[in-house]
Structure formats: C-alpha cells, structure tokens
Structure 1
Amino acid sequence: MSHPINVACSNCNLRELCMPVGLKPEELQRIDELVATRRKVKRGTTLFRNGERFDALYAIRTGFFKTCITAEDGRDQVTGFQMAGEIIGLDGIVNDHHTCDAVALEDAEVCVMPFDKISEISRDVASLQHHLHRIMSREIVREHGVMLLLGTMHAEERVAAFLLNLVQRLHTRGFSRSEVVLRMTREEIGNYLGLKLETVSRTFSKFAEMGMITVRHRHVRILDVDALKRLVGPPGGAA
C-alpha cells in the first residue's frame, strides 16, 4: 500500500543516512520532489520479487528486510539484511528487473523513489548521483566481505563478524553500541553465513559461556567487543 508523504526528505531524521549531505536550499527542494509515496510492508510479505520489473529504489524508513534468491535446488539463500536508513532495490538497475526477493522481517515502511525521477534530478543535483554511486560501491564492498566471510572464516569468526557489523550499522543509526535485538531468526543467520542452525545456536552459547555476550531470546548484549574483534582479526566481515 502506498500513500502520499507527509514529511519532506529535508525534514526526515534519516536524511543524512540515505541522502547526500551539505545540500544547498534549492538542491534540498529538488530532493524533496524525489519521493512521491511511502509504502507500508507487512511482516513476512515482499517489497519486490525476483523477475519483477525494476522502476524504483526504496529508502527504508522503519523496519528490517532480508534479500534472498532461490538456489538451483529450490532452497532460499539469504543474501543480506537491510535496515532503516539504507537503500534497497539496487539489484534491479543492471537489467531493469529485480534479481532477488526483498522480504520484510517486521512491519516496515519505505519511501518509494522512482528511478527515472532520480535520473532527472541527478542532472541538477550532481551530489545525488555521486551519493548513489557511493551506495552502490558500498554494496559491492559488502558483497566482497561476505565472500571473504564464507571462503576463509570458521564458524565462530563468521558469527562474531556478523554481530560486530550489525551493531556497528545500528550504532550509526543512533542505537546502542553494545545491544541488538535480532530481527532475523538464527536459521536465517545461518543461511546467510553458510552455517547450520545448530552451529549458530551453539556458537551463541559458547560466546555467552566465554563472557563475550549475553543472549536472551533475540536480545543480544555484547560484553567484550575486543574479544569478538580478536576472533575476527583484520576488518573484512559484512552483514
């Protein structure tokens, strides 16, 4: 369901996360033309599906999403988790259709940004195009991080890198530096990290026994961030 927006991008508290910073007043006015509607997405439903025509990018205002593809054996493979302040839908730019499903992990709301409108406004606001390129570059770096995660790290390193990356991204959005409520299941975490559900649960328990974290259902509190970082080693993980 889409509906007209009530708050302009220039007044949105997430603007600095999903829009260029340092814009002139006239540029801000053009940016405010970018988002015509907001769309609510219920938990468990899709924002877009693999194969659907690509016509817009989506800025997540509230909620959490996962992106996934269907593997050759018919199983779903989680390719990423996205949160408020991030842009989703970049996968559709190359071939004008989406190449994955985007599923809401909780009730969510997104700002719909028609791609033809982005292209039009980018001609007047050069920093918008530059910002889009930065977002795309960040996604490429994140994908490379995932490849490193799956190709070279053991189970404990993968889970530690996942937790550190998730907390860091949430902290950028004003949340706690040490606490996180997991919006995804352990099974989804395992799917993303290339681990079995039992391995993820066992690793959480081991981290708790070692005094690095406390776990209560989906609430995770990091007690020893340095210990997690030592497990991971040099930066490289992604979520």
Structure 2
Amino acid sequence: MNSYHLRLVGRSTVLPHTSCPRPVIPPKTACSGCGVSACSLPIGLDSPDVSHLDALVVQRFKVKKGAALFRTGDPLRSLYTVRTGSFKTGIVSVDGREQVTGFQLSGDMLGLDAISDDAHACTAVALEDSEVCPIHFAHLESLARNLPSLQHNLTRLLSREIVQDHTLLMLMGNMSSDERLAAFLLNLSQRFSSRGYSARHFVLKMRREEIGSYLGLRLETICRGIAHLRDQGLAQIVGRNVTILDLEGLKRLVAGCRRPI
C-alpha cells in the first residue's frame, strides 16, 4: 500500500516547521554501511559503484515532527531516503481538505512523484522527528546512465510506486471498511517485519484521522473497525499500540473469507 544533494560531513541539522528546511549536518555514514536495510538504491552495486553513490549524498538532515520536507509545487531537486522516522504524503483539495496518499517508513524513498513534471505533486510531512538522506536527482540521473544496476533499481522503485497506487485503488473500490483496515495493518506488519521489527507488535505514528483519509473512511468508521477487529480476536489497538492477535485471520479477512479455511 500499502506511498522519495552530495557528501556527509560534520554534525547533524534540525529542520524547523517549514518547507525547504535548512539541513543540520550529521556524521558521515556511507550507503554501504547504513543500517537502513530497506533502502534499494545500493542493492546489486559493486563497492566502487556504491562509493559513487555515497558521493551524491551531501549531508543527511533532520526534519522535526510536523515539518514539511517539500510541498506541492516545489521544484524537483532531490530524492530523499528516510533514514529514521516516518512521513505522510498528501494533497489538499480545493476546499482545503487533506487527502493522505501514503505513509513512508525508514528505507522508503520520497520525491519520486516529482520526476514526471520536475515539481512535487504532493506534500511530505514528518510524522515524528525524522532524518533523511537527500540525493541530488540530476546527479543521480547522470550516474545511473553509466551504472545499469543503479538504473534498474531506480526503475524498480518507480514500478513499486505504480503497484502501490493500484493497491490503493483496489482498497477503495472492492473492500469493505473492515477489510481496508485489516489490509492496512497487514501492510504495516509486513513492512515492519522486512525491517527487522516485530510483525505483531508496533506503534502507529499516524493519527486515526490520517488513516481514515488514506483508506477513504470516516473517523467513526475507523473506530468501529478497530472494535470489530478486537471483537473477532484479530487485532487489538490501544492508543497507538497495535497487537496483531491472529495474523492468518487478518489475511483471511482481507481475502474475503469470514471463517477459517
């Protein structure tokens, strides 16, 4: 689902609650040695090629909770890998309502939405104090022309964006409210698991209203869905703490099977 400018030097920077934040410089960490195992760009690259990719990251920087990394209409300068923390992306309708379009965790890339028109189509806001690694897009594009493995990884990232869009359309069109919520929790479970965290116990960084916006559901429907999942013994959500009680049962619910098979 189920949602992306050259060398790391010095110490860390903190971004205020504004867009186009000024970075704080942290200690250098090469892409090859980064603990963000979900980051896809270095996969399959030889050590010399990874060093070229390292050189594209000028400095990672921090984004305070509630601050915008970029806003709709901002020009494309960089793609951003989330090193720590989490973000939401969204657009604002003409009547001022926010439509959440995705949630990004560590290892995910922000900014891919801007590649087609050289301007961001959405706004990315930190859900908690976070840190990103910016990669200057023009330099990345130039490097990718000479490194087929890097070009392949970029293409794979773009393909993943398309698949996520299709998944969201399926959620909106074919699933009941309980199925949407179950699919959302399953997606988070799988993403946390792929990063080495528990698949059954995790903390939601987003508010219920934001989950509802993403799933196309009202707040009261989200609250009822949480109660239904608890009553069925599938999942328990207390505050923002999630416990998956029956992982296989959640999968059956998403598949449209109301009873165990």
CA drift at 1:141: 0.4
| Matches of 2:193 and 2:142, distance apart in 1 | 33
Out of 92, 104, 107, the position equivalent to 1:82 is: 104
Task: Map 1:175-186; keep pairs closer than 5 Å.
Answer: 175-186=197-208
| Matches of 1:15 and 1:27, distance apart in 2 | 18
Partner of 2:7: none
Partner of 1:38: 60
Moved over 6 A (4+): none
One-letter identity of the residue aligned with 1:79:
T
CA drift at 1:46: 0.2
Structure-2-length-normalised TM-score: 0.86
Partner of 2:165: 143
CA offsets per residue over residues 164-198 of structure 1, 9 Å max, x none?
00110111111101112000011100011010111
- Structure 1: 5+ residue stretches without partners: 235-239
CA drift at 1:4: 5.5
CA offsets per residue over residues 75-128 of structure 1, 9 Å max, x none?
110001001001000011111111110000000000010001101211232111
CA drift at 1:36: 1.0
Are residues 1:18 and 2:18 paired? no
CA drift at 1:13: 1.4
Partner of 1:97: 119
Is this contact kept in 2: 1:38–1:110, CA < 8 A?
yes
Q: SS at the partner of 1:18? A: coil
One-letter identity of the residue aligned with 1:212:
L
CA drift at 1:71: 1.4
Partner of 1:237: none
| Matches of 2:37 and 2:145, distance apart in 1 | 20
CA drift at 1:15: 4.8
| Matches of 2:223 and 2:162, distance apart in 1 | 29
Are residues 1:50 and 2:72 paired? yes
How many pairs were matched up?
234
Are residues 1:222 and 2:241 paired? no
CA drift at 1:24: 1.6
| Matches of 1:172 and 1:15, distance apart in 2 | 9
| Matches of 1:226 and 1:62, distance apart in 2 | 29
| Matches of 1:132 and 1:91, distance apart in 2 | 13
Percentage of matched positions with identical amino acids: 48
One-letter identity of the residue aligned with 1:175:
Y
Out of 129, 132, 154, the position equivalent to 1:110 is: 132
Are residues 1:72 and 2:86 paired? no
